[in-house]
Chains A and B, each alone.
Chain A
Amino acid sequence: DVKVTQSSRYLVKRTGEKVFLECVQDMDHENMFWYRQDPGLGLRLIYFSYDVKMKEKGDIPEGYSVSREKKERFSLILESASTNQTSMYLCASSPRGQKDEKLFFGSGTQLSVL
């Protein structure tokens, strides 16, 4: 079975801290994505990556960066966490050129910035 694992289910951080959210997939997928989910706004795309060491900005990249040093791992970095980054963060992956297009999701990290 396909698996996307997010390292933490819940995380509490202080304003100004550097925060790393980790995501690992075991399916050899080329594409990986980071979304944040907020009530009334749905899922909004932060960053995505089509291959190792490459990245593309999504709709709301401000205040975030990403790292993809290995194919299976895609990290989201909050350089200096702020309270407005309190949210649920979802990681997803997909294979390139798949016949049945869809995303495979992790179970989310609920981040609270105090």
Chain B
Amino acid sequence: AQTVTQSQPEMSVQEAETVTLSCTYDTSENNYYLFWYKQPPSRQMILVIRQEAYKQQNATENRFSVNFQKAAKSFSLKISDSQLGDTAMYFCAFMKHGNNNDMRFGAGTRLTVKP
């Protein structure tokens, strides 16, 4: 079974600064996907960024980027130029490649962006 670990229950950052959220995972699979989801107070889960394990290049989406280290099974999220609207719970998640696969999540990191 796959497990996802987020070791930082809470983090805070000053507005406009950079913050990195950590995630490690355990799997014997070679082909899989990794995700970061954001859950603001509205509770709606929003996909922030997605990484395919076979791609060596780290995914980026505007101010969000990842550091994917496949051998170390590490998948951290970097948020640059933090904004107040980035305040949310952030979940790291894992999904095996192929059809009909479920997604497994970490415990989450609560990020607070301070003005």
Number of residues of chain B lying within 8 A (CB) of chain A: 25
A102 x B102 contact (CB < 8 A):
no
Cβ of A23 under 8 Å from chain B: no
Which one of B43, B95, B99 lies within 8 Å of A88 (CB-CB)?
B43
> Is residue A18 within 8 Å, beta carbon to beta carbon, of the partner chain?
no
How far, in angstroms, from A41 to B3 measured CA to CA in the complex?
12
Q: In the docked arrangement, what's the CA distance between A108 and B106, Å?
A: 18
How far is the CB of B23 from the nearest CB of chain A, in Å?
A: 11
Q: Is B78 an interface residue (CB 8 A)?
A: no
Chain B positions 71 through 96: 1 when the CB is less than 8 Å from some CB of chain A, otherwise 0: 00000000000000000000101010
Give 1 or 0 for each of A31-57: 1 = CB within 8 Å of chain B CB. Answer: 101010000111111001010000000
Q: Given A43-B91, A100-B50, A107-B42, does the pair A50, B100 have CB atoms closer than 8 Å?
A: yes
> Known: A43-B91, A101-B95. Is A90-B45 also a contact (CB below 8 A)?
yes
Please, which residues of chain B bring their CB within 8 A of the CB of A50?
100
Q: List 19 A-B contacts (CB under 8 A).
A: A31-B100, A35-B105, A40-B9, A40-B107, A42-B6, A42-B91, A42-B106, A43-B105, A48-B102, A88-B43, A97-B99, A101-B33, A101-B97, A101-B101, A102-B47, A102-B50, A103-B103, A105-B44, A108-B43
